[in-house]
Amino acid sequence: MRAPLPPSVRSDRHYKSLQSGELGIGFALTLAEHLLRSRFPDHTVTIVPADTALRAGWALTIPLACKGNHGDTATSAEQLASASAHAEAVHIGPWNETPSLLFSTQLPTDGGTMTVHALQAPGSGGRLFPAEVREPNLNDPPCQANVMPGIHPPTEGLVAPEPVRGCHVQAKDYAWFQESLAHTTAAGLMAFTGSGHATARHLTDRQGRKRFTGLEHAASMSMQDATHALSGTKYVGTDHVFRLNGPRVEAFSGVDEEVFRLLVRGDVEEYRALVHASRHVRPHLTFDKDWGGPVSVQADGSVLALRVLPGQDEAPRPVRGQSGCAG
């Protein structure tokens, strides 16, 4: 019988696993967004959580994965092979024509060079137009559909093959799925501001709408939970205070006030038009002297700003991994 690992070793391995997973997701999304924007400069690129979007139409849960590791190239190859099965579980349009990008981030333990391995599957599918039944109306409330699970291979002669397990968005569902993707994106943006009811209005029950109906964001009424003018633009959102190796740090997450007002009242069409028009001028990363820290603005109008709270010793304490909430 193998002796159990000491708690310190188990803790270290668990930490490395979390680190590789989180960094793998971050680098993969950043690289995918960069590649897509360079390939399609006339389009707006938006990252949508696939598991949430799919729950608008399917009750089953499809496993999705972003991979990272502290191993070697062989480990990344295994991760890409397993991730390909996850990608194959979602088809948009014709059979086996949905393009995909798979990433595995290799994080060295010796301080060497980080490597991101990529695997591309080209295809002519993945486009949600033209709509077969109707044109999409993004301002309609989100609709929870009950799409039959299963990916449908092409018919061979007079015999229709048995469906393969997974989610298949066919032409008849294009308009509904465009609306679901738009609402899921809007919900994620509203959750980033801390607005519960504004988030809930863009989700179906199966996507977790009821989880966001408990607390109301004051900014959607006559008051505001947190607002800041950053680099000349007013943002609505919420504040968090935490400790970073000792000093208390304030984090403000929010969205452009104009974008916020549009999504609070459910005007998804106008919100998407505004984001598309400003996609080349809005994104920036700067140090705001009035705020007192770095400010990162994304193309969708979201902002994340950090600053060390004044009136304290800003020198970090030599305590590894100390973190927590401070009221």
pLDDT surpasses 50 at 322: no
Would 41 be classed as within a structural domain? yes
Give residue 313's pLDDT.
Answer: 59
Its domain, for residue 57, covers: 1-127
Residue range 226-270, pLDDT digits in tens: 899 998 999 999 999 988 888 899 999 999 999 999 999 999 999
Would 10 be classed as within a structural domain? yes
Would 29 be classed as within a structural domain? yes
pLDDT surpasses 60 at 277: yes
* C-alpha to C-alpha distance for 101 and 64, rounded to whole angstroms: 13
Would 65 be classed as within a structural domain? yes
Q: What average pLDDT is seen over the chain?
A: 84
Residue type, 129: F
Number of domains the chain contains: 1
Per-residue pLDDT band for 290 (boundaries 50, 70, 90) equals very high
Whether the link from the prior residue into 130 is cis, omega within 30° of 0, is yes
Task: Provide the CA 257 distance to its chain's centre, in angstroms.
Answer: 21
Give residue 327's pLDDT.
Answer: 34
Phi, psi of 260 (to 5 degrees): -60, -50
Vertex 263 angle, CA 258 and 266, to 5°: 135
Q: What is the mean pLDDT of residues 132-141?
A: 92
Give residue 178's pLDDT.
Answer: 96
Would 159 be classed as within a structural domain? no
Would 4 be classed as within a structural domain? yes
Would 202 be classed as within a structural domain? no
Give residue 115's pLDDT.
Answer: 86
Give residue 106's pLDDT.
Answer: 85
| Token pair in block for residue 268 | 């998804």
pTM comes to: 0.83
Convert 187-249 into a string of H (helix), E (strand) and C (coil): HHHHHHHCCHHHHHCCCCCCCCHHHHCCCCCHHHCCCCCEEEEECCEEEEEEEEEEEECCCEE
Phi, psi of 238 (to 5 degrees): -145, 150
Give residue 67's pLDDT.
Answer: 63
Residue range 173-185, pLDDT digits in tens: 999 999 999 999 9
Vertex 228 angle, CA 288 and 255, to 5°: 100
More confident residue, 46 or 113: 46
Give residue 256's pLDDT.
Answer: 96
Would 34 be classed as within a structural domain? yes
Per-residue pLDDT band for 138 (boundaries 50, 70, 90) equals very high
Q: Nearest Cα to 270, choosing from 152, 182, 174?
A: 182
